[in-house]
Structure 1
Amino acid sequence: MKSTSILILSLSILLFSISCSSQEELKDKLSLMPWPKEIKATGSKLFIDSNFTININKKSHRVHNNAISFLRNLTNKTGVFIEKGFPSYDKGKATLNIKYKNEVSLSINVDESYILSIKNNGVELIASTDVGVIRGLSTLLQLVQNDSSNYFFEGLMIKDNPRFKWRGLMIDVSRHFQPVNVIKRNLDAMAFMKMNVFHWHLSDDQGFRIESKVYPKLHQLASDGQYYSHEQIKEIVSYANMLGIRVIPEIDIPGHATAILTAYPKLGSKDNYEYKLQRYAGVFDPTLNPINPEVYTFIDKLFNEVSSLFPDEYFHIGGDENEGKHWDENVKIDEFKRKNKFKDNHDLQTYFTIKVEKILNKYGKKLVGWDEIMTPNMPRSAIIHSWRGKNEGFKNGTLFPAVKKGFKAILSNDYYIDRMFSVDHYYLCDPIGNFNLNEEEENRILGGEVTMWGELVTPLTIDSRIWPRTAAIAERFWSLKNVNDIENMRKRLKVISYELERIGTTHLKNIDVILRNISNNQEINSLKILSKIAEPLKMYERNKGGTEYKSFSPFSLFADACNSDAEDAYEFKKVLNLYKKSKNNYEDILYFLRKWQKGYIEFEKLNKSSILQELQSHYSVLYNVSQKLEKVIQKQTFSKKELEELIISIDKLEIPFADVEIVIIKELKQLANHIYNKLSS
């Protein structure tokens, strides 16, 4: 009996080991993202030709539309002239057979699981719901491969479902308005990455972006003419619904209310105050008056109107960054606090939020708010949106305390992509992390949201700030926790980035648009070379204090053509690590040194505008550093004095310029010291 148990255990370990090995081999071979829960190669292959067809077991607008979209994407990706451009429902034999049980209304608990089986004679996609079909079609489209003569699908068996039920992207359209086409192309990208919540930040100090028929001054006086009509909102909600994406509106109250109070100043907490739309970024004093009955009448009527446009059960009320200055300056509010024995403004805001929640409940909505609403007296029915962490003085963040206190919660603190951190940083941040939670507490963590705040983005640049990093975060929300290999993720992400561009995002091609603009349509190769080792300043250093840029300032500068994962900087680091381990393998190092020299020589030929003049000094130093490093490698002589002079030059590159920073400083110093030590030994 004992030996039998040992045998079974040994076989189990062996099978697990084989399974893990197979998974790793497939990860090296396939560029899937998010990575599926279970995936196994079958050794077969299905060729894609003009006879490719789709059959669906029953009709649903959502499945029908996505099947057509799949066919269009497939033919565009492969160049194959597919004869039948629409799915059939005749139960006949097809290349792709789709079977699902239920057509569902979107909600937080929708079953998104699917099973995908690819064999020599066809593909079978099975799901419980039509939303699961959409997720499976996204996976299948990513599996298209080719050799010199054919396009094909590798034979696979996939069983997949998400780890978290809330996988969102927030786009702030108040600081910079984003037209309908921008929202739609990002919804397409979200669906491609299996994200399911679009959080629409529609009001703030810089603008109110919804047409209001009950309070028309909101869009007439507080939007600069940039707002969404009811028809446009319905169009976007419907578009998202077809992609299996829920749309959640955010009207930020009681703070961040300058736009609202510009239209209706009597609702403010400070009398005789001139409210004007803010043109800068930051936190401002205007707040709704929580003791004025007219405020709640306003909220009731406005939220009733907005709720009718958004069918989802959740409604985000903001609730963040109310510093209470105007409350403290209002004698009547101070008297009200004392009368009701409120210790501070937190108690007063809780009073306000509870009243707002009752209004929302009346219209069948559940309240979501940023983590400032989490106070002892706040009902546990509210959803806490955790955004504060170490940078805001919360060492362990606010998600852990929220779920411990009985709240359901969503994490965004580690997914603020406007902070311009590397994709590596975001990818390794897990919603649950290593907190000591029991099963019930873990289940209260609904998932996470990527937050794209709009202070420094326009329709020209927003895609490059969202993608492709958000694809990696989408994997963190969908895939198992142990899918966390950085190098493998980056390999797959490079392919996915091009796939995202193919389906409509502008994150790659608009880089060239910006560089042509700042060069006045001259040759941009030299600028691209520099941009691949430069990254925008991080943590809002680009707009320190919120006063360097206004909402109508230019965002078509060199910094806007750079991204937070400078491509050549990453590759140079890998090449350097290999060089340090080898004896004479310096050709790859020389490739980069010569590339930067060539870039500067080309740059020197350009007619320089004031924008390009900002790049001159650093590019010149980079040229000199690269030239000196190449010489010492070639000559194999390097004195201590030469090293010291070179380090001084490299230090000059460390100074930020044009709102960017060169991100190969450490590597250049390591290279210089390595060469010196190597030649001195």
Structure 2
Amino acid sequence: MMLRRCLFRFGLLGGCLLAAQPLFAADDLPLMPYPLKLERQTGALLLVGDQTELRLDVELVLADATQNTATDGKYLIQHLQQRLTAQAGRPVLLQSVTTAVKPTLRLEIGKLLTIPKPGDDESYQLQITPQHIHLQANTSTGALYGLETLTQLLDCPSLPATSSPTPHCQWPTVTIEDQPRFPWRGLLIDSARRFVPLADLKRQLQGMASAKLNVLHWHLTDDQGWRFESLSYSKLTQFAGGEFYTQAQMRELVSYAAKLGIRVVPEIDLPGHASAIGRAYPQLLAEPGSATKAERRFGVFAPVLDVSSPEVTAFAAALLKEVAAIFPDPYLHIGGDEVKPEQWLQNPAIQQFMQQQQLADAGELHADFNRRLALQLKQLNRTMIGWDEVLHKDLPKNVLVQSWQGQNAVAESVRAGHPTILSAGYYLDQPMPTSYHYRNDPVGVAQPLPPLPADGKQIVLDFQLARFNNKPVSGQFILLPTAVSQNLQQPQLRMRVPARGELAPRWVQQRSKADGSSDWVFAIDSWLGPAEIQLQGRTDGSWHASAMLGNTRYPLTVKLASNSKQQLALPVLPTLTAASQQQLILGGEAALWAELVPATLLDLKLWPRLYAFAERLWSPADMRDESSMYQRLQQMDDYGSRIGLLHQQQQRQGLATLASNEAEAAALLVLSETVEQSQYYSRHHLKTVRGQYHLDAELARFADALPAESLALVVLQKQLATNGCAAIGTSSDRAPQTAAQRASSIHALQQQFQRWQQAAAQLKNYQGKQQARIKHLTAQLAITSDIALQWLAEQQRLTQQPTTGNKVRKTWDLQRQQLQIIINEVDEELLALAQPVQQMLECREAGIYLWKGNS
């Protein structure tokens, strides 16, 4: 399968990225999400057949006598056949047999579910021996998940081009007991800002099933468009340009999802994000003339419903009744987020209503409306979901709260007694490293941090992080050096931000200097993404700071707090110890908002990293090995493509649209391995200040043809770490190597950088679209590859101590300056390769050499 992957993904230009040596441990099977319990045995089960067709004898047994295996269970057999055919690369014929014939696969199901519901049994047991497969589940949903695991486990080498013997497809022999850690494992798709055709949604549902996700959160209304066909208020879709879903189409999607064990939860945004409502029915707004045209911009806008009006109450009741009639799920999402109160406060009728109802402010008014919505939904046998802005002391306890503004909202919601799901840290419209999403745990983020020891002299720094949309983030760093506390084994640090809570670093390093000052380097995960921050103490008592959010440099200023002991006041929160509290955390949802994601790029922005998110919610909490995750994610990249996801195809199509010919498109594909989108919300913010953050701005940059993260650079980081040159804050995992092995490692790295260097040379005279930007990135790639190849050549020359001559030192200084300029650049796409190459130079400074084998 590895050869097939390389030829398919990279074409003829430069061959295979992973051909030189295996880069990850092969202990884990190619499964994602990984099962709860898995035991491997010796041997394998062959899937019989030839080059043209494979065959599998199947017996389906239903414990429920009212259900018919031949008709009611037919869709499961069809689903398995489609999956196995995709994985095998040739037709797989499933033949229905009885026990007397000794089937190869015996599938036992307690009950076939028509409509999936919260609390369904999703467990399954799978046993594969050299003779047979036995899959048992209490429900069809559990059986479906077992079949997904069975498909992922099938190993089928590529078919030979000649008439040589056909390689066998086979399963490893294993025993698996599996069930999810969390019952709510969802994906939000935004069809409101940009319409998503039904076929594209169905394809994502297929992907979700393969990842064992069970909730599609369907965002149907927003300022830019109303996509839900209402028979009661038919004007709502008249400005949608035909881009809306009929009630028949929505029912069709619900039925399609149900066959895959997926619930569909609709979101109808009330009372904010109401521009589309106000254009169709201006009398429903607090300021009726405030939404006279279609909203083409993105952001948070003023139009809001007049929540004091009986007409709005009737509107909400009729609309929610229509929604509930189409979507059978017991939960219905009302949004409730980003409500601007100005129109409420300026409307005399609303002010009078507030006085009559004894509502002190806009927050009380919003809470009163949410309470009334919850009662309306209760009458429809539905439970309300809202974003974390709906959280209020008067909110009914059964309302589910979805955390998006920060991970700290999970603890706040749970302590208030609400069922809760986490989305902060799972926003996939932000290009982020997959490892960041993988570390983000719904229960872990709800636990308070242990307090800093009180016996040390704390350093309190006020900070301000500038953002590209001119809305800075302010807070404090509290530093506790080891030198001032005998009880500390290592330095400690906290980051505090009002309304966002307190965060601790993933790792921190402190270096005390002779003049009494100190330097700090630490990595911290927050709602902003993964950040690496450097703080440098100066002799005059001032501090200098720099920050990387993901792969992007952000301006950061710090200064000593006016009172070194004056810390931001944050509430002291007790640990979530009660099982009943932790059980209120139902799971999480990834979210893909559509500002920068048209339907033509949907797969590219979701896959394969959605598999890693799914693993965080399905697999045991202690499954944390990021190296294993990335190794399996690379395999899922191709698995997803085989079963019909279009992420690889969409990338190639995007690059072909930019290039002037096939050769340029092939070279752009290689360049794309070294370039990433600017991470966090950098692209959104840059488009805002450039006046390009709206529906009419073309999404045809190089960044739009890029995945969220370059897996080629993940591999490079692994190669460097394996050879003793790990990134700061991570451990080197190099095993002892012979001289021949070290030479092979250097040669493999040289081949890779020569390949990138060749692509840069081919694009030097690039004639396609976005010429200036592509040529600029190409020039950066040429510089960076040249620096890396010089470093590798040095590894071959040096056998003792590094050369310390002035001429060599000057060369090193120039290389550092060149890389720093590239790393500090701000734009929508960045040469991310510069950071691991800078890491290589830092290894040289530290005296780490591949050839010597020392560290």
Q: State the TM-score, normalizing by the size of structure 2.
A: 0.73
CA distance in 2, matches of 1:101, 1:53: 21
Alignment partner, residue 509 of structure 2: none
**Kept in 1: contact 2:781–2:831 (CA 8 A):** no
1:621-660 equivalent positions in 2, closer than 5 A = 621-631=780-790, 633-634=792-793, 639-656=808-825, 659-660=828-829
Does residue 158 (structure 1) correspond to residue 176 (structure 2)? The answer is yes
The one-letter amino acid paired with 1:479 is S
Q: 2:274 aligns with which of 252, 257, 262?
A: 257
The one-letter amino acid paired with 1:491 is Q
Q: 1:502 aligns with which of 632, 637, 642?
A: 642
Relative to structure 1, the CA distance from residue 27 to residue 126 in structure 2 (aligned partners, 3 Å threshold; closer, same or farther) is farther
Answer with 448-457 or 556-565: which moved more. Answer: 556-565
Alignment partner, residue 31 of structure 2: 32
Q: For 1:249-297, what per-residue CA distance to the aligned partner results, in whole angstroms no more than 9, with x for missing partners?
A: 0001100111111111110001333432221211111111100000011
Relative to structure 1, the CA distance from residue 675 to residue 246 in structure 2 (aligned partners, 3 Å threshold; closer, same or farther) is same
Alignment partner, residue 173 of structure 1: 191
Answer with 358-367 or 246-255: which moved more. Answer: 358-367
CA distance in 2, matches of 1:674, 1:72: 49
Relative to structure 1, the CA distance from residue 207 to residue 651 in structure 2 (aligned partners, 3 Å threshold; closer, same or farther) is same
CA distance in 2, matches of 1:371, 1:27: 42
Alignment partner, residue 110 of structure 1: 120
Q: 2:778 aligns with which of 611, 614, 619?
A: 619
Alignment partner, residue 16 of structure 1: none
**Kept in 1: contact 2:45–2:132 (CA 8 A):** yes
SS in 2 for 1:214: coil
Relative to structure 1, the CA distance from residue 27 to residue 320 in structure 2 (aligned partners, 3 Å threshold; closer, same or farther) is farther
CA distance in 1, matches of 2:26, 2:443: 24
Alignment partner, residue 542 of structure 1: 683
Alignment partner, residue 555 of structure 2: none
Relative to total residues, which structure has the larger strand share, 1 or 2?
2
Q: CA deviation at 1:79?
A: 4.6
Alignment partner, residue 450 of structure 1: 590
1:52-201 equivalent positions in 2, closer than 5 A = 52-58=56-62, 59=68, 63-79=73-89, 82=92, 84-85=93-94, 87=96, 92-104=101-113, 105-146=115-156, 149-201=167-219
**Kept in 1: contact 2:780–2:831 (CA 8 A):** no
**Kept in 2: contact 1:114–1:160 (CA 8 A):** yes
Q: CA deviation at 1:404?
A: 1.2
Q: For 1:199-224, what per-residue CA distance to the aligned partner results, in whole angstroms no more than 9, with x for missing partners?
A: 00000111000111111111112x23
CA distance in 1, matches of 2:39, 2:848: 50
SS in 2 for 1:248: strand
CA distance in 2, matches of 1:494, 1:45: 24
Relative to structure 1, the CA distance from residue 488 to residue 246 in structure 2 (aligned partners, 3 Å threshold; closer, same or farther) is same
Q: 2:674 aligns with which of 533, 536, 539?
A: 533
SS in 2 for 1:418: coil
Residues paired across the two proteins, number: 648
CA distance in 2, matches of 1:51, 1:622: 49
CA distance in 2, matches of 1:160, 1:676: 48
Q: CA deviation at 1:304?
A: 1.0
Answer with 597-606 or 227-236: which moved more. Answer: 597-606
Relative to structure 1, the CA distance from residue 206 to residue 89 in structure 2 (aligned partners, 3 Å threshold; closer, same or farther) is farther
Alignment partner, residue 695 of structure 2: 551
Q: 1:592 aligns with which of 744, 752, 773?
A: 752
Q: CA deviation at 1:56?
A: 0.8
**Kept in 1: contact 2:188–2:592 (CA 8 A):** yes
Relative to structure 1, the CA distance from residue 88 to residue 374 in structure 2 (aligned partners, 3 Å threshold; closer, same or farther) is farther
**Kept in 2: contact 1:46–1:121 (CA 8 A):** yes
Q: CA deviation at 1:579?
A: 5.7
Q: State the TM-score, normalizing by the size of structure 1.
A: 0.90
Answer with 101-110 or 521-530: which moved more. Answer: 521-530
Relative to structure 1, the CA distance from residue 522 to residue 41 in structure 2 (aligned partners, 3 Å threshold; closer, same or farther) is closer
Alignment partner, residue 8 of structure 1: none
1:219-230 equivalent positions in 2, closer than 5 A = 219-221=237-239, 223-230=240-247
The one-letter amino acid paired with 1:405 is A
SS in 2 for 1:654: helix
Does residue 519 (structure 1) correspond to residue 659 (structure 2)? The answer is yes
Q: CA deviation at 1:88?
A: 5.2
Q: 2:304 aligns with which of 287, 305, 313?
A: 287
Does residue 462 (structure 1) correspond to residue 602 (structure 2)? The answer is yes
SS in 2 for 1:281: coil
Q: CA deviation at 1:657?
A: 6.2
Q: For 1:598-632, what per-residue CA distance to the aligned partner results, in whole angstroms no more than 9, with x for missing partners?
A: 111110243244x0221212321331343244346
Q: For 1:326-382, what per-residue CA distance to the aligned partner results, in whole angstroms no more than 9, with x for missing partners?
A: 112212212222332222211101111111112111211110110111101111021
Gaps of 5+ in 2: 1-23, 49-53, 63-67, 158-165, 448-574, 726-733, 798-802
**Kept in 2: contact 1:112–1:161 (CA 8 A):** yes
Does residue 270 (structure 1) correspond to residue 287 (structure 2)? The answer is yes
Relative to structure 1, the CA distance from residue 676 to residue 626 in structure 2 (aligned partners, 3 Å threshold; closer, same or farther) is farther
Alignment partner, residue 668 of structure 1: 837
Relative to total residues, which structure has the larger helix share, 1 or 2?
1
Q: CA deviation at 1:677?
A: 6.5
Q: CA deviation at 1:555?
A: 1.9
Alignment partner, residue 251 of structure 2: 234
The one-letter amino acid paired with 2:210 is F
The one-letter amino acid paired with 2:102 is K
CA distance in 2, matches of 1:113, 1:645: 59
Alignment partner, residue 10 of structure 1: none
Q: Cα RMSD over matched residues?
A: 2.4
CA distance in 2, matches of 1:593, 1:56: 53
Alignment partner, residue 379 of structure 2: 362
Q: CA deviation at 1:543?
A: 2.1
Answer with 145-154 or 126-135: which moved more. Answer: 145-154
Does residue 405 (structure 1) correspond to residue 436 (structure 2)? The answer is no
CA distance in 2, matches of 1:48, 1:363: 50
Does residue 576 (structure 1) correspond to residue 731 (structure 2)? The answer is no
Alignment partner, residue 350 of structure 1: 367
**Kept in 1: contact 2:44–2:130 (CA 8 A):** yes
Q: 1:602 aligns with which of 762, 765, 771?
A: 762
The one-letter amino acid paired with 1:377 is D
CA distance in 2, matches of 1:308, 1:678: 69
Answer with 194-203 or 671-680: which moved more. Answer: 671-680
Q: 2:350 aligns with which of 315, 326, 333?
A: 333
Alignment partner, residue 463 of structure 2: none
The one-letter amino acid paired with 1:234 is R
Relative to structure 1, the CA distance from residue 487 to residue 634 in structure 2 (aligned partners, 3 Å threshold; closer, same or farther) is closer
Q: CA deviation at 1:98?
A: 0.9
**Kept in 2: contact 1:270–1:326 (CA 8 A):** yes
Identical aligned residues as a percent: 30
**Kept in 2: contact 1:62–1:243 (CA 8 A):** no
Answer with 238-247 or 463-472: which moved more. Answer: 463-472
**Kept in 2: contact 1:643–1:676 (CA 8 A):** no
The one-letter amino acid paired with 2:427 is Y
The one-letter amino acid paired with 2:628 is N
SS in 2 for 1:28: coil
Q: CA deviation at 1:91?
A: 7.0
Alignment partner, residue 234 of structure 2: 216
CA distance in 1, matches of 2:654, 2:768: 15
Q: CA deviation at 1:40?
A: 1.0
SS in 1 for 2:763: helix
Alignment partner, residue 429 of structure 2: 418
CA distance in 2, matches of 1:430, 1:586: 38
SS in 2 for 1:168: strand
